[in-house]
Structure 1
Amino acid sequence: MQAVAAPTPELIKELATTAPGTGVLSAHLRTDPRDPANTNHQPAWHIALRNGLRAIEADLEAGDDRDARLAFRELSERVDGELPELDPADRGRSLSVFTTADGSLDVRVTLQLPLLGDTIRWDRRPFISPLVDVVDHGRATGLVLVDSDEVVLMHWEGGRVTEPDQSRYVLDLGDWTGRESGPHDRMSGGQRSSHGEHHDSRIDDHKRRFLHDAGSKIAARLDELGWHRLLVAAAPGTEDPFVGALPDQTRERVTVTLDAHLTGEDLGSISEHVDGPLEEAWRREVEATVESARAHSSSGGAGATGAAEVLDALAQGRVAHLVYDPQLAIPASSVGPQVTAVFGDVAEDLIVERAVEHAIETDAGVSAIGDHAGLTEAGGIVATLRY
């Protein structure tokens, strides 16, 4: 089985456009060991997996395709045997598996952000919507960790923090250095220095100039590192001079600021500090998209609300960003002939999934958000439009 350490937009699009010609088992499992339900002898995710496999097998047994029944039975036994034997690190906080009986598709994706729940599906295509949700709110973000004599860059994606090369900008060195230049191992004027040793006004002024200079250095590296949004975690007294020195275009990318001294923390501790604020920032962005879609729709502009209107826009390739409630069920009566011509004949319980697949195929953004009054009022699904 191909193991993928972190999902990417490229993987999502590949899965969205895959139709192996045989049945695909998609298993999305919330394996987070911190969930109380997963601390029992048989964790909740494994119970959900077994129940889902039995339900699919029962449906196939009711049909008349004997070869499909036998093939799925073997596939079910393999998956039920393999997944519980994985190391906890390979299961992560959630796990998504896409596999066929003939092995033409066999992918396991480890997630460091939790799925909304457990989902087991059997379909002619990979069932991707639960994974799309995680990729959306886990998209790549630059972490800028600031203190008075060092700025450190970190990469956050899907709940995982890594440190890129040439990631540290240190007072008195005046250039980017590698990971080996830690926060307590720097030289100043030929003498080893540490936090708290610089108190005189001349050094304070030097630090202010350093933070100003670091801001311009960060801006120069954003495109190189592929970061379109930033979180700045600044030690007390450093946020204003640093953020204020950022060029306007760079400052606009700062979606979260934290009053926190993180330059000396390990990767796990950094992740614990930033995961929650990034989740909150993502939700604010999605809520703003919902309100934008509703406002444009009501004024006859580039927005659509409600299943019928959004599905028509999807079929026409006009959707720029789709937002839906993960509990949404779209009735077959909302699917007009134009949509059927594009989606094909779709079972009612797969209409939302096909909408998500088509949005991905047409390079639209996709977000799933629950418990939002504005989205509920709009019928549980909205879209901003390209035109």
Structure 2
Amino acid sequence: MNIDDATIRDLLALEDEQGVLSFYTGHTPEQAADPQPTAPIELRNQLKQLRARLERGDRDTARAVEQRLSKLDGPLDSLLDPKAPGRGRAMFVGVASGEERTVALQLPFRQRVVHDATAYVRPLVAALDEGRPALIVVVSRTGVRVLHWATGDAEVTEEARFEKDQALFRDDSTGPSANNPQRAMFARSDRDGFEDRVDEHRHRFLKQVIDDVVQRAEADGVDRLVLSAPPKLRDEVRTLVGDHDTIRVLVADQAWESTPAKEVAAHAWELLRSVHGDREEALVTSAKERAFAGGPGALGLRNVCAALNAGRVEHLMYDDGLTLEGFVSSQGTLHPRIEGAVAESDLTFSRHPLFVERLIEAALATSASVTPLNEPAAAELADHEGVAALLRW
């Protein structure tokens, strides 16, 4: 399955008086044949650590969680089954209600068990960001396949076959007679000329297909294009794509002309993830440059919250290791602190220990993009409370 903003908003709305249990697990194809998979062991260790943390806190909550866990043997077995669909799987369960939600993606998750007031969605936010749509163009000497890739899955959306123009086969050469000793030389020249005409015809065919793909990517807001071609065509295809301000072009070292879509998706993911850190750093740099120049950028919690409250955020970014507390007003506005004019208003406020999740929720509600930051990009926001945003205006 694929996820979208609505998936995450729906999970954040999953409330339970005893909190929500969130389980994440990841699998690789090799683990399906492993007689002793490690995922169950890792999950048991995570559960042991969770129980220890809960025992040090509220005993009623600890008992409620233990009762719920005792009823989850079947669902957890399904979640951990290496032969089940999805390289990354997640399950969310209300402790008191028992309400369950599941997600399965082709992007693997790290083993994790979390109990909190609401669903722990940060791994899904990261998957949605890193797994945003991309187009894959697979070129061969006989045609082109175009695949749409998202969150680890790929499907063929277009296939164009290269057909030689019949005009290329016309023999309009008067040439020498069969008894002419130079006949072989002329025949070789004719073959070379024919191959040149075929290559020129293929070049025009590829240009038309690739131009259409690039236009479609720009129209749909797709910012990544993966190219695969045989070595003899690779440079030509890359030149045909050209350079674009809004599209990053990645060229595979392998030719995928006979590779099934599922395997193409896995190969493309390795290539796409290899440049994700560069994108994170570019986003942070852009936000800082905009903010320092007095333009559409915001740094720090107070400025980012104000922009979220006004619906101005185009792209929210935050340190993925960040844990924050903040306040939500009776009007639904976000505030890192109750101060100034807000403190003197008639609004009432509730404290939220999962304030980053509230930031995510507010961003998604206005169709903003969200990117969790890892090192080294996250370190660039250390002086700004780990939060920044690109603004719409």
TM over 0.5, yes or no?
Answer: yes
**Compared with structure 1, are the counterparts of its residues 317 and 205 closer, same or farther at alpha carbon in structure 2 (3 Å cutoff)?**
closer
**Compared with structure 1, are the counterparts of its residues 60 and 267 closer, same or farther at alpha carbon in structure 2 (3 Å cutoff)?**
farther
Note the residue ranges of structure 2 that are not aligned, 5 or more in a row.
170-190, 328-334
Letter in 2 for 1:115: F
Using the size of structure 2 for normalisation, the TM-score is 0.75
Instruction: Check conservation: 2:16, 2:95, Cα contact below 8 A.
Output: no
Instruction: Check conservation: 1:256, 1:281, Cα contact below 8 A.
Output: no
Letter in 2 for 1:376: A
Instruction: Check conservation: 2:26, 2:111, Cα contact below 8 A.
Output: no
Aligned mates of 1:344, 1:117 — CA distance in 2: 32
Residue 213 of structure 1 corresponds to: 208
Residue 346 of structure 1 corresponds to: 352
Aligned partner (choices 258, 261, 274) of residue 255 of structure 2: 261
**Compared with structure 1, are the counterparts of its residues 362 and 88 closer, same or farther at alpha carbon in structure 2 (3 Å cutoff)?**
same
Residue 171 of structure 1 pairs with residue 162 of structure 2 = yes
Residue 294 of structure 1 pairs with residue 292 of structure 2 = no
Aligned partner (choices 116, 133, 141) of residue 122 of structure 1: 116
Aligned mates of 1:308, 1:370 — CA distance in 2: 22
Q: Percent identity?
A: 25
Letter in 1 for 2:338: P
Per-residue CA deviation, residues 170-210 of structure 1 (Å, 9 max, x unaligned), is: 11189xxxxxxxxxxxxx99xxxxxxx99832322222222
Aligned mates of 1:312, 1:80 — CA distance in 2: 45
**Compared with structure 1, are the counterparts of its residues 226 and 320 closer, same or farther at alpha carbon in structure 2 (3 Å cutoff)?**
closer
Aligned mates of 2:122, 2:348 — CA distance in 1: 19
Aligned partner (choices 158, 174, 192) of residue 151 of structure 2: 158
**Compared with structure 1, are the counterparts of its residues 301 and 216 closer, same or farther at alpha carbon in structure 2 (3 Å cutoff)?**
closer
Letter in 2 for 1:265: T
Instruction: Check conservation: 2:144, 2:160, Cα contact below 8 A.
Output: yes
Residue 183 of structure 1 corresponds to: none
* Distance apart, 1:129 and its partner CA: 2.0
**Compared with structure 1, are the counterparts of its residues 104 and 56 closer, same or farther at alpha carbon in structure 2 (3 Å cutoff)?**
same
**Compared with structure 1, are the counterparts of its residues 105 and 7 closer, same or farther at alpha carbon in structure 2 (3 Å cutoff)?**
farther
* Distance apart, 1:10 and its partner CA: 2.7
Residue 31 of structure 1 corresponds to: 26
Residue 183 of structure 2 corresponds to: none
Aligned partner (choices 185, 195, 200) of residue 200 of structure 1: 195
Residue 356 of structure 1 pairs with residue 351 of structure 2 = no
Aligned mates of 2:293, 2:22 — CA distance in 1: 41
* Distance apart, 1:146 and its partner CA: 1.3
Instruction: Check conservation: 2:218, 2:246, Cα contact below 8 A.
Output: no
Equivalent pairs, count: 350
Letter in 1 for 2:368: A
Instruction: Check conservation: 2:16, 2:94, Cα contact below 8 A.
Output: no
* Distance apart, 1:385 and its partner CA: 1.7
Aligned mates of 2:40, 2:235 — CA distance in 1: 51
Per-residue CA deviation, residues 200-253 of structure 1 (Å, 9 max, x unaligned), is: 32322222222123223435655898855322222223244434445987x843
Q: Secondary structure at the match of 2:149?
A: strand
Q: Secondary structure at the match of 2:316?
A: strand
Residue 172 of structure 2 corresponds to: none
**Compared with structure 1, are the counterparts of its residues 247 and 257 closer, same or farther at alpha carbon in structure 2 (3 Å cutoff)?**
closer
Residue 113 of structure 1 pairs with residue 107 of structure 2 = yes
Instruction: Check conservation: 2:238, 2:251, Cα contact below 8 A.
Output: no
Using the size of structure 1 for normalisation, the TM-score is 0.76
**Compared with structure 1, are the counterparts of its residues 351 and 301 closer, same or farther at alpha carbon in structure 2 (3 Å cutoff)?**
same
Letter in 1 for 2:350: G
Aligned partner (choices 42, 45, 53) of residue 47 of structure 1: 45
Letter in 2 for 1:88: P
Aligned mates of 2:39, 2:311 — CA distance in 1: 48
Which one has the largest radius of gyration?
2
Aligned mates of 2:217, 2:302 — CA distance in 1: 40
